[in-house]
Amino acid sequence: MTSNTPSSNWKTLSGVLLACWPLATLATTPATPASQGTQVQQLKAAVITVERHAHDVIEDTRYPAYSRVKTYLGVPLGNVLVHSVTLRIDGQPAATHDYESATAFALIQHGLAPLDTLSVTPGSHQLNVRLTYSQGDGQDTANQSAAPAKPDVRTLEQTFNFTKTDLAAQLVIDVYQPKLFAAPALRLTQWEPKS
């Protein structure tokens, strides 16, 4: 659990400063041609570490753990092409994502993508998910010479109950097929770190 006390902020800041230390030493060390490649790799690793720490500090500031809910969309079915997804929490708009063809095909290939990070108070809530999609064979028709047929756009909508605790939470919304030859459906999985 992340707290916003002055001591925790100083600890975070000191962690970022310690991560920057290799950058300072690399900048002051004279380089030989043989060691330049190694130094460049060390510098890249140090930059990635600093960026990761900075991202964590920003996220902890914008979305403290007691209110943070990260949402993800999972589409493990190769024949579902997502057009848009809209999330509402307790009847209030929370997030909307529209997917272009290339992004929707990438979602099929990778199976899981982040939607948004939301601020939700601890307690019981309702998450309404509205997803528009079309079904096909999962092949990218954007590069074919013949114009693709207009897709038959369908809608899935479902409301889920979830409980937000004081810990950061992750909600995974999956599009799945409950039975062979059945229409796609939605399900919700909630993940929380162990306290």
- Which sequence spans correspond to the domains of the chain? 6-62, 68-191
* Per-residue confidence (pLDDT) for residue 3, from 0 to 100: 47
Comparing 186 with 49, the larger pLDDT belongs to: 186
Q: Which residues contact 106 (CB under 8 A, 6 or more apart)?
A: 113
Pairing of strands 112-119, 68-74: antiparallel
Q: How confident is the model at residue 161 (pLDDT cuts 50, 70, 90)?
A: very high
Query: Which H or E run includes 180?
Result: none
* pLDDT value for 190: 92
Note whether 6 and 22 are within 8 A (CB). Answer: no
More confident residue, 10 or 132: 132
- The per-residue pLDDT for range 85-120, each reduced to its tens digit, is 999 999 999 999 999 888 888 888 878 888 999 999
Judge contact between 133 and 83, C-beta under 8 A.
Answer: yes
Q: Which CATH number fits domain 68-191: 3.30.930, 2.60.40, 1.10.3470, 3.40.50?
A: 2.60.40
pLDDT (tens digit per residue) in 6-65: 555 555 555 555 555 555 555 555 666 667 778 888 888 888 888 877 877 777 777 778
Q: What is the CA radius of gyration of the chain?
A: 22
Would you place residue 78 in the very low, low, confident or very high pLDDT band (cuts 50, 70, 90)? confident
